[in-house]
Amino acid sequence: MVSTLVVVGTIVVVATQSPGWDAFEEYFLNWGYYRDSFGEIARAFLVNVRIFVTVEAIVLVTALLLAILRSLPGPVFFPVRALAVVYVDFFRGVPTILVILMLGQGIPALQLSWLPTDQIFWASVALVLVYTAYVSEVYRAGIESVHPSQEAAARSLGLTRTQSLRHVVVPQAVRRVIPPLLNDFIGLQKDTALVSVLGIVEVLRQTQIDQSATFNGTYYLVAATLFVAITIPLARFTDWLVARDRRRRQAGGVA
């Protein structure tokens, strides 16, 4: 604690005594701008929250289905596994912002009457595609971590392959990967700011609008405050889950 206070105190002293501190404080730490813009930027942040909640709910299901398809054994399922591998490799390799731009600008440009043109919809679809690829790998790692004897025991009791996955393998796998899943969703929560490239007025776009009106960067601090207010509790919750899982494993080992 003492060393932390010393380090933080040193940083504060060096920063506040620097020649450009007054200009920095006026540009980034203007309390008046912070107070006056907080409500407006917070309302724009609700767009990010809605996108995050919707995408997370869809990804939880689609990623699990993709992981199961990639884990199917036997040569008959090779085409399915190959398509799953291509999907994962592609969407993990392409930057998220490019997927958002390609779908958010490209699909409406086709002018197909039977397709939605709402940019929030296509931005959400882009995030679903990208994060399904990432999260499916987390699920797959969890499925592969379940010992084959678990499935063998289930099959010996008369369960089918599907029933074994549903009642034995998948429940164990999901419990094991909850912490890394939460880490991915922390990243998803932050990546919702990327939808601003489509002109959607969410937290980052609203911040840019306010900044361009006053040429002051305090609005970025407001946006950062809102993101931190969500991500830090999620991060601490993840740490708690990891610690609890570690204690359970240690207790099981002792037993």
| Whole-number Å distance between alpha carbons of 110 and 89 | 26
pTM: 0.86
> What was the pLDDT predicted at 226?
93
**Tens of pLDDT along 124-162?**
999 999 999 999 999 998 888 888 888 788 878 887 777
Q: Cα dihedral sign for 37, 38, 39, 43?
A: positive
What CATH number does domain 36-242 carry, 2.20.25.240, 3.30.70.100, 1.10.3720.10, 3.40.190.10?
1.10.3720.10
Helix (H) or strand (E) holding 73: none
> What was the pLDDT predicted at 45?
95
Enter the tokens of residue 158.
């008369």
Number of CB atoms found within 10 A of residue 200's CB: 22
**Tens of pLDDT along 86-135?**
999 999 999 999 999 999 988 888 888 888 888 899 999 999 999 999 99
**Tens of pLDDT along 5-16?**
888 888 888 888
**Tens of pLDDT along 4-43?**
888 888 888 888 888 888 888 888 888 999 999 999 999 9
Q: Where are the alpha helices (H) located in the chain, listed in sequence order?
A: 2-16, 21-28, 31-70, 78-93, 96-109, 119-145, 148-156, 161-164, 170-176, 178-191, 203-214, 218-254
**Tens of pLDDT along 219-246?**
999 999 999 998 888 888 878 877 777 7
Decide: 185 and 56 in contact? Cβ < 8 Å: yes
